[in-house]
């Protein structure tokens, strides 16, 4: 599994918790280990966690198996009282906001015409 992560350019604040191999899929369960996050609206640093969110991100296939990353990201309260954003979910290079596949998977499937 480490070769998948090295290819993904894993960030230091993400850790693989568990992996599952099925006849058709490779599933990696990844968790954020961050202790602070920056509000995307006002750029205020927050230390107050609000909860967690689970995202399913598709990666490129390996040996004809689909690869999925299940990433548990932290939700945070924005501590700036004048900010319109009361809470937010952290974003990473692997899982930018609202994206359902890694950047390399997007390029791979466009190239393949899928």
- List pLDDT tens digits, range 62-99: 889 999 999 999 999 999 999 999 999 998 877 777 88
Condensed to tens digits (0 to 9), the pLDDT of residues 33-42 reads 999 999 999 9
Q: What is the pLDDT of residue 92?
A: 82
Q: What is the pLDDT of residue 43?
A: 95
pLDDT higher at 97 or 19: 19
Distances (CA, A) of 43 to 15, 83, 102: 25, 10, 25
Instruction: Return mean pLDDT, the chain.
Output: 87
pTM: 0.81
Q: In terms of Cα–Cα distance, which of 64, 54, 53, 55 is closest to 26?
A: 64
Q: What is the pLDDT of residue 91?
A: 84
């Amino acid at each position: 599994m480490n070769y998948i992560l090295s290819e993904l350019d894993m960030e230091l604040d993400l850790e693989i918790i568990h992996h599952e191999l099925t006849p058709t899929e490779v599933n990696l369960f990844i968790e954020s280990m961050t202790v602070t996050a920056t509000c995307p609206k006002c750029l205020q640093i927050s230390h107050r966690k609000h909860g967690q969110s689970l995202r399913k991100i598709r990666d490129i296939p390996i040996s004809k198996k689909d690869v999925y990353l299940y990433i548990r990201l932290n939700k945070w309260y924005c501590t700036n009282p004048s900010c319109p954003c009361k809470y937010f979910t952290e974003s990473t290079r692997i899982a930018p906001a609202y994206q359902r596949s890694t950047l390399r998977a997007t390029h791979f499937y466009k190239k393949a015409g899928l």
